[in-house]
Structure 1
Amino acid sequence: MNSSGPETGQAVDGGGRQRRAWGSLNRDQIVACGLRIAREEGMQALTIRRLASELGASRMALYRHVPDKDGLTELVMDAIAEHDMVPPDIEEGPWEERLRRLAAGIRRELTAYPGLVDILMTRAHHGQGALRLVDSVLGILGDAGLCERQAVRHYLVFVDLVLGRCHRELHGDPVDHHRTASLTTLAEQAGDYARLRAAVPYLVELTPGQIFQDELDMLVLSIKAAARPT
């Protein structure tokens, strides 16, 4: 027979180990613990067994809230999208600034959770948080003056830009200095290619963050051109 543990909501099993009392676990606790594990150790560390151990609960107790590992991953991804990616002031300010803030929030969170970009590159995620994110992007593009057809097109470009940039930064960005080191060395040694030699100092100083901002600049210009009255 189990006896009451020293903390509310816990019990002590026959081996003297504390475990959570049946029915004391809720979804918010699962999400909070899942977010912590994913941020510290990566999305691949999210398993029912690991979460149950962290929460002091049985796996059966978790199955009351999430069906399996994929369901747990979806729950955590949705929490990230809903609470961390969309800034609270997303409806305030010029549309260009709002689009940039949203892009920065997505990039920040995608790089904060190891493995999250890889999941999003290989499968769709359409939870409530993701739907709110998509709706926010479409709202900004509508405020920029795009019709629905144009907004959808530029939404897809926006997603491709942000996800693609994050994936490249995490898996071998071609603009990283170590990828361009041999090019700059050869350019400095070569007798020809004067234009390339002149570009070396600027090539060396560029960062992935600056490239990200330049890509957003090009997207903003494309949106403005599409919204321009003909």
Structure 2
Amino acid sequence: MTSATRLPWGSLNREHIIRAALNIARTEGVNALSIRRLAADLGASRMSLYRHIPDKDALLDLVASAIAEHELGIPDPDDGTWDQRLTELAHAMRRQLLAYPGLVELLTTRSNTSTGGLRLAEAILDILYTAGFEQQDAARYYLIFVDITLGRVHRELHGDVVAPKRTSNLLAAASKTPDEFPTIDRTSSALKDIDQDDIFNAELDLLINGIRAATRPAARALE
């Protein structure tokens, strides 16, 4: 929808606004969102938008909440074991965070207090309680999960120490004097093959395996 197509009077609603805002965020990035731009895409006046959204901060909160609630792939409680659900959720979060330029910054500053952000936190904690943890451990692994998932995406977008280009630079420098750095030379082909998907999968595996190991003593204590 463009500014050339005007909405009929009184037809604008929150669903229209969210759909248009998500489209802008997905195609141009969160930073492109504004009341003026949204009004133009909806074919509506800014004043009509202000009846639903008081300002840009509220708009950003609305977008963050909608993405967290509807597009991050929160698994159903009956969909698999706790580790399958946590793995599925982590991959869905990463896909969507990379799909929306600027979203990871928005989620780290806003969505934890929105309805969508709260439901996401509720889902992660529920998975951890299902795994058998008590409050302290569930809280700890919840924060680690969020840190790994959002942190990895943030690094990929804003300077990753394990980015393929950095690895290539390392290997190129070491190859000038391979006798001085024989271990790097020995590992060079493997280092070339590892990408950011591999890194994320490995980080997630380490977390899941760590949680799995931690649940065993807890389960024995309940016996």
1:180 aligns with 2:167: yes
Match of 1:205 among 183, 193, 218: 193
Q: Give, in angstroms, the shift of residue 126 of structure 1.
A: 1.6
1:76-95 equivalence runs, <5 A = 76-89=63-76, 91-95=78-82
- Match in the other structure for 2:117: 130
How has the CA–CA distance of structure 1 residues 18 and 187 changed in structure 2, closer, same or farther, with 3 Å as cutoff? Answer: closer
How has the CA–CA distance of structure 1 residues 125 and 67 changed in structure 2, closer, same or farther, with 3 Å as cutoff? Answer: farther
The TM-score normalised by the length of structure 2 is 0.90
Counterpart CA distance in 1 for 2:186 and 2:93 is 35
1:196 aligns with 2:184: yes
Kept in 2: contact 1:86–1:133 (CA 8 A): no
What one-letter code is carried by the residue in structure 2 that aligns with 1:102? L
Q: Give, in angstroms, the shift of residue 143 of structure 1.
A: 1.4
What one-letter code is carried by the residue in structure 1 that aligns with 2:209? L
The TM-score normalised by the length of structure 1 is 0.87
How has the CA–CA distance of structure 1 residues 140 and 93 changed in structure 2, closer, same or farther, with 3 Å as cutoff? Answer: same
Counterpart CA distance in 2 for 1:110 and 1:18 is 31
Give % identity.
50
Kept in 2: contact 1:117–1:167 (CA 8 A): yes
* Uncovered stretches (5+) of structure 1, i.e. residues with no partner: 1-16
Looking at CA atoms only, which structure, 1 or 2, has the larger radius of gyration? 1
**Which deviates more from structure 2 when the two are superposed, residues 188-197 or residues 61-70?**
188-197
Kept in 1: contact 2:69–2:116 (CA 8 A): yes
Match of 2:61 among 56, 74, 79: 74
Offset from partner CA, 1:182-226 (integer Å, 9 cap, x none) = 211222232123222111111110010110010011111221232
Number of residue-to-residue matches in the alignment:
214
1:104 aligns with 2:85: no
How has the CA–CA distance of structure 1 residues 117 and 18 changed in structure 2, closer, same or farther, with 3 Å as cutoff? Answer: closer
Greater RCO (CA < 8 Å, at least 6 residues apart): 2
Counterpart CA distance in 2 for 1:47 and 1:83 is 22
Offset from partner CA, 1:102-127 (integer Å, 9 cap, x none) = 00111111111111112234455321
Q: Give, in angstroms, the shift of residue 137 of structure 1.
A: 0.5
Kept in 2: contact 1:146–1:223 (CA 8 A): no
Counterpart CA distance in 2 for 1:178 and 1:85 is 29
Counterpart CA distance in 1 for 2:121 and 2:86 is 12
- Match in the other structure for 1:5: none
Kept in 2: contact 1:95–1:141 (CA 8 A): yes
1:217 aligns with 2:205: yes
What one-letter code is carried by the residue in structure 2 that aligns with 1:215? E
Match of 1:228 among 177, 193, 216: 216
**Which deviates more from structure 2 when the two are superposed, residues 166-175 or residues 89-98?**
89-98
What one-letter code is carried by the residue in structure 1 that aligns with 2:214? A
1:62 aligns with 2:52: no
Match of 1:40 among 2, 6, 27: 27
Could you say what secondary structure the match of 1:85 adopts?
coil
Counterpart CA distance in 1 for 2:136 and 2:78 is 22
What one-letter code is carried by the residue in structure 2 that aligns with 1:203? L
Higher helix share: 2
How has the CA–CA distance of structure 1 residues 187 and 18 changed in structure 2, closer, same or farther, with 3 Å as cutoff? Answer: closer
Counterpart CA distance in 1 for 2:197 and 2:90 is 12
